[in-house]
Structure 1
Amino acid sequence: MSVGIRIVDAPVSRRDDERAHRYIIDHVKPDQQIRRRIAVTNLSDTRRRVQLYPAAAAVRKDGFTFAPGRTGNELTSWVTLEHSELVLAPDETATVWTEITVANDATGGEHYGVLWAEISPQHDPSEQVRNAARAGVRIYLSVGPGGAPRSDFHIKDLTGTRAADGVPVVTARVKNTGGRALDLTGKLTLSDGPGGLSAGPFNVKAGTIGPGHSKLAKTTLNPRLPDGEWTARLTLASGLVTRETTGRITIGTKPTPQREGNTQNAILTVGSLVSVAAALLAAYAYRRRNRFR
């Protein structure tokens, strides 16, 4: 039992924005309306009743989070669906218009929600728990006068290591420096490695980052990747914003300062033993000379 839901077409102003083909993303003024057409598909092998409804969501430090059930918020009170219920045959798809009319006294800033399509099985009174399958389209709606807030981010602390289980890992700290939430994906390539080796590109997914927040973008690599120094190039994008960073990283472990200290101690110890042996030989030669006299 499953259901699918997707955006049919992005607005003309956002045709080049990959996120706008997956989510409802826009910037509107109070008392303004936008419309989107969504497609709902019954992916199960039997005829199903599909319920459509908006629900609240939020963007926190751990990313995009969904409110339980049909919990609402300010954004969901602005949403109207052409149909709240569909009956679909197996593999049948229906399109539905949704309208978002922003209230005249709407709170400024970015609002988050989800349009859900849900299939629930027929209720059995003997069962205390009822399972439901649902799929959703996220909503990122910025409200305020003028143009949309700027989207931007920066990448720092590009680092490589090998985890305890032997898997190489490359990480970078990403901070959202703009005024809108970001959904980051990207690629990592490695070059100039041991023996001139290159590797990648590897897929990178940092998830959703809210304005002012930061998150660790993490990429796990093939365990057979050899230890040594590599040149890493990390490219991340959210919508039309792309940023890149390049740096030398080390996969594996470097000699620790303690080991270097142990080496120096060993050299000092050998030097001390040589000095003691020289002193003993000098004393022995002195005694022999006195006995001879």
Structure 2
Amino acid sequence: MAQAPDLPDTDQPAVKPPGRDGPREPSPSPSPVGPASAVGIRLLDAPVNRRDDTRAHRYVVDHLRPGTTIERRIMVKNQSEDRRPVAVYAAAADVTGEGFVFAPGRTENELSSWITVSRPELDLEPGEETEVLVTIEVPRAAEAGERYAVVWAEVAGADDGQTVRNVGRAGVRVYLSVGPGGEPPSGFEIGPLTGKREKDGTPVLTAEVRNTGRRALDLAGDLRLTEGPGGLSAGPVKVEAGTLALDGTTTVRVALDRRLPDGPWAAKLDLASGWTKRSATGRVSFGPVPVAATTAVDRSGQVLTGGLATSGLVLVLFAVYAYRRRIRVRQPVAAA
């Protein structure tokens, strides 16, 4: 399997983009928690050497030598209809078998203790947004390894005298690798594709994905089906595989429309985490008994192209297939 090339350390200018204490909660995305509409946050910068890495435009993803300091800008917006105070701070996070998880409240870990924000307290009018500078200062004595945190923007609901107050917060994830030399490689493998049909009739394609690199991954991509009955094709269907920890494995599961014919189909699954991309192909069927693909190919450097679509396309293709069958049945047979 090919590995991503080493990258230079990123203690350099940024460009505009086109914890271990306490119980943890799953955080599938750096999205609001609680009253989600109250506050918004987004990253404004990405490292120069990651201008083609879409993941680095959404999260702070970097590799730094000990003793390095970097700065990144974020935009915080009051999305409510009232003037609100907004707190901006860093807190602990981790990547486990459950994916990317964050610690409750302002729980600290090593990485969050290295992060400071230029304006920890904001007072924003409805719809107002403002920039905040985030500084990450890696100590000279820091040990090599990857660390995780979240930079949060938080608002509290109005105090109505009740015991419980709603708190809403939105965050930007931080994936920071520390160590000498170039960045550790990222990589993953996709196992054989398998098709089956659930008891309720839903066709499902599954594949096991294993993180073979030395950085956590955020996997997404699409599935295409071709060479189906009557020459039908379906997709691309959007695939969200979530965050995969170091040495971790996950099963990607893609549910399709119940009216999809059993097949066989030629399946192609494309997944990517930033600029690390892999593909797997194989022949699958969606009969009552799970059938593994006859082949699986892992291709590095594959670029995902085209828009992502829902399985609604499958419905259209199935209708065309059914229409063709009716045409064949009604066609008169020539006399001998």
Change (3 A) 1:141 1:254: closer
- The answer to whether residue 218 in structure 2 is matched with residue 183 in structure 1 is yes
Aligned counterpart in structure 2 of residue 50 of structure 1, from 66, 79, 86: 86
| Structure ID, larger Rg | 1
- Counterparts of 1:92 and 1:8, CA distance in 2: 16
Structure 1 residues 1-293: aligned runs within 5 Å: 1-124=37-160, 126-254=161-289
- Counterparts of 1:252 and 1:46, CA distance in 2: 55
Q: TM-score, normalised by structure 1?
A: 0.84
- The unaligned stretches of length 5 or more in structure 2 are 1-36, 292-336
Q: What value does the CA root-mean-square deviation take over the aligned residues?
A: 1.4
- Counterparts of 1:254 and 1:65, CA distance in 2: 35
Shift of 1:208: 0.4
- The unaligned stretches of length 5 or more in structure 1 are 257-293
- Counterparts of 1:217 and 1:232, CA distance in 2: 14
Moved over 3 A (4+): none
Matching residue's letter, 1:73: N
Deviations 1:28-72 (A, max 9, x none): 011110110000011111111110010100000111001111100
Shift of 1:254: 4.9
Structure with the higher strand share, 1 or 2: 1
Shift of 1:255: 11
- Counterparts of 1:205 and 1:136, CA distance in 2: 20
- Counterparts of 1:255 and 1:45, CA distance in 2: 52
Q: TM-score, normalised by structure 2?
A: 0.74
- Counterparts of 1:8 and 1:255, CA distance in 2: 45
Q: 2:152, 2:171 within 8 Å by CA — same for their partners in 1?
A: yes
Deviations 1:199-234 (A, max 9, x none): 110001110001111111111111111122111000
Aligned length: 255
Is the partner of 2:285 in helix, strand or coil? strand
Of stretches 50-59 and 219-228 in structure 1, the one that deviates more from structure 2 is 219-228
Change (3 A) 1:173 1:254: closer
Matching residue's letter, 1:141: L
